[in-house]
Copies of this chain bind each other. A is one copy, B any other.
């Protein structure tokens, strides 16, 4: 049962996407939306705040809101599931576990998962393809308390996040991503069928529960030219930060 402000935000997204409010044009005023949806002005403001935060509309005091773009936004769940994302585009995704084993945590594991070095972790290596071509190598490191549930997953599991939710009620709630470019090493090159030294887009991520407990960290490597990522920012909200080095 979605909140009213979420329903209104979704209705406005769809209206923008089908061109009812074209890019460069304006949205109805808060007063009009308030009357149209039968809600208070505050509820309208909550709905349009979500669209503002995702970069879809622009808002200035005193001026009507403008439509900045009509790109399709992605839910957290869709970003997390390669197969779901591919399916939404009408593309065919494949995924295969190449290796899975428990090992002692490195210093890096320990820092990212807030455990002690040497504690047990579960490492999983997957290769994912799009329309038959390998595009993504995923290395996941799960905290030990998650290991049993992950090991129960089938090797060709479509959505790890969804499966874990259904199996043990685990919610992946927050992610922190570090994005950079690296050169393909020997293993990467072999598994992704590219030349040694080819550019790969690397996304390292730590994921936590709703209470902030780290579940896993991962190192995803995409073949250059196959996948890109988009982020919108603004004076009012900048979700993107630059860091020196490889962080």
Contacts and interface: CB of A to CB of B under 8 A. Distances in A.
Interface of A: 23-24, 53-55, 58, 60, 63, 66-69, 71-77, 79, 85, 89, 91, 114, 130, 171-183, 197-202, 208, 210-212, 222, 224-247
B212 A24 contact: yes
Contacts of A71: 176, 241
Contacts of A228: 178-180, 242-243, 245-247
Nearest to A172: B235
Nearest to A85: B242
B75 A238 contact: yes
Nearest to A42: B42
A224 B246 CA distance: 8
A177 B211 CA distance: 30
A247 B91 CA distance: 16
Contact of A211 (B66, B175, B176, B202): B66
21 contacts: A23-B212, A24-B212, A54-B237, A55-B174, A58-B211, A66-B211, A69-B176, A76-B233, A76-B238, A79-B240, A176-B231, A177-B230, A177-B233, A177-B240, A180-B228, A198-B199, A199-B200, A225-B245, A227-B245, A229-B243, A231-B241
Nearest to A247: B228
